[in-house]
Amino acid sequence: MKLTELFAQPDPAFGQAMTDLLETFHHSDDSQAPYQRDQFTHQLEQSGMPEAGLAMADYLTRLATLVPGASHLTSPRYMGHMTAPLPAFTAELSRLVVMLNQNPMKMESSRLLSFLEREVLAKLHRLVYRADEPFYGTHMHAKDAALGVMTSGGTIANVTALWLARNRACGDNLFALYEQGYRGAVILGSRLMHYSFDKGMDLLGLGARSVWRLETDQHNRLSLAALEQALAQCKEQKLKVLALVGVAGSTDFGSIDPLPELAAIAAREQIHFHVDAAWGGPTLFSPRYQGLLAGIEHADTVTLDGHKQLLVPLGTGMLLCRQPDLMMAVKREAPYAIRASSFDQGRFTLEGTRPANALYLDAAFQLFGQLGYAELIEANYDRARLMASLIEQDPAFELMSAPVMNLLSYRCIPPHLQGKVLDEAANEQVNAFNVALQKAQRAEGHSFVSRTQRAVGRYGAQPLTLLRAVLLNPLIEERHIRELLADQKRLGDEIAGQLFG
């Protein structure tokens, strides 16, 4: 095959092969290629490229050996992570996104799609901040305004928020803080803050010690008493608080910090208020549950993550700004591409080149609509409550937190400890049991939940291994939940015999 033929019209046989691979994949589960690290590394041990390109048929043969080893994220018995199952139209739309190969960093390399990105951000801004029509008419396509920016995910959105907060406080010169009489700078949030904030403060040159993770209350929300104590401590030690972070959907429990109270404290102390709503933000679509996020409209910045509850592909994150001129604090230009007189969104983004993923959001917004999102979100939240009730009814399990959204934590109790009061020694046995159980379920491949390790109020400060279920797939039915729990009980009986005799 001539190299130029690879740039011509796609081979129909190749397209059919992709369809067949996906069809087979979506009707299987991880048990078809169980996770075995040694086997996977042996399968992929060639460090050199082929000297000449393969024939297409030979490449398809190779691809057919790789796809079964991918994670079956769309299986209704896979309830372990925050990666969304994608609607079927995404497959064809992705062809368009990839083959157009637009770069919204600059208007010249994306033209109309640069303005589509602005429109999509305006829709999300309106969902969160609920400004009026004249506001969006004025600012949506204004040259020196940005209602937000697209990013490759929630991590970059959170890092960008910290970048903004730092520049608001002292420009891009940390030494200015010392000139103002401060001895350093910190951010404040709960112990359940995402680890991206540690990355962000490290990149800003402030280090991990500048991230103060405060205690939570019995509902896994930032403790207001702990926050007030930390603020007093910062004043005493002459530390500048760059940002107060509120969590709207923690990764461990789906808990939501007291956003109205945090907003009032941030306003009182004149601190940048950021809400990480990467998981929970789309709750605002639901009339039944949107009250959970009361107060988010007072945040200076808000992170959303499209590959979670907005149901679009990976690599689609957003940072929203309450004030349209806020992004000017990080504005950067380049004479060959990002000029001061342009409309280029690249002036405000940490990343340069990136794909036109706003097309995925636009499709989802147009095809689901607000009512569609509300229906999907409410059904998933109801599934979490169903799963919680099944767990509470069975002595083989212990629910560790009532579901706030569609994420819950629980653990399986080995038979010899069921119905008993669990002390520290017993909890160590339960921890080992749940680690082994989660690994066994993952290796078997028919169903899956992830695991985490957190202290839970009723057991004091002891770290506990928790099973973590994410109810995100709209195809999950009650039978899938029951089957998953039955798998855990069956595997649990086997593991208990191995561990405890």
pLDDT in tens, 441-500: 999 999 999 999 999 989 999 999 999 999 999 999 999 999 999 999 999 999 999 999
Q: Are 378 and 112 in contact (CB under 8 A)?
A: no
Of 414, 426, 417, whose CA–CA distance to 494 is shortest?
414
In which element (H, E) is residue 311 found? Answer: none
Of 372, 459, 374, whose CA–CA distance to 409 is shortest?
459
For the chain, residues with pLDDT lower than 70 are: 1, 334-341
* Amino acid 276: pLDDT: 98
* CA atoms of 227 and 219, how far apart (whole Å): 16
Question: What SS3 class is residue 151?
Answer: strand
* CA atoms of 290 and 176, how far apart (whole Å): 41
Buried b (16+ CB within 10 A) or exposed e, 172-205: eebeebeeeebebbbbbbbbbbbebbbbbbeebe
Q: Residue 74 CB: number of other CB atoms within 10 A? A: 14
Judged on CB neighbours under 10 Å (0-12, 13-18, 19+), 124 is buried
**What distances in angstroms separate CA 253 from CA 227, 382, 392, 423, 427, one per listed residue?**
20, 16, 16, 23, 19
* CA atoms of 36 and 39, how far apart (whole Å): 5
* CA atoms of 316 and 307, how far apart (whole Å): 6
* CA atoms of 495 and 497, how far apart (whole Å): 5
* CA atoms of 429 and 479, how far apart (whole Å): 30
Q: Whose structure tokens read 């109801």?
A: 382
483, amino acid identity? E
3-class DSSP string for 38-56: HHHHHHCCCCCCCCCCCCH
Q: Rounded to the nearest 5°, which phi and psi values hold at 193?
A: -55, 145
Secondary structure letter of residue 222 according to DSSP: B
In which element (H, E) is residue 248 found? Answer: none
Q: Give 407's Cβ-side CA count (13 Å radius).
A: 23
* CA atoms of 501 and 400, how far apart (whole Å): 27
* Amino acid 434: pLDDT: 98
Overall pTM surpassing 0.75 (yes/no): yes
* CA atoms of 312 and 348, how far apart (whole Å): 23
Partners of 247 in beta bridges: 276
* Amino acid 107: pLDDT: 82
First to last CA, the chain: 63
135, amino acid identity? F
* Amino acid 43: pLDDT: 86
Partners of 240 in beta bridges: 185
Secondary structure letter of residue 405 according to DSSP: S
**What distances in angstroms separate CA 336 from CA 5, 57, 339, 371, one per listed residue?**
33, 42, 7, 44
- DSSP per residue over 59-122, as a string? HHHHHHHHGGGS--TT-TTB-SSSPPPPPTHHHHHHHHHHHH---TTSGGGTTHHHHHHHHHHH
Q: Residue 489 CB: number of other CB atoms within 10 A? A: 14
**What distances in angstroms separate CA 53 from CA 64, 184, 433, one per listed residue?**
18, 55, 49
Judged on CB neighbours under 10 Å (0-12, 13-18, 19+), 57 is exposed
* Amino acid 155: pLDDT: 96
Dihedral angle of Cα 347, 350, 355, 356, to the nearest 10 degrees: -50
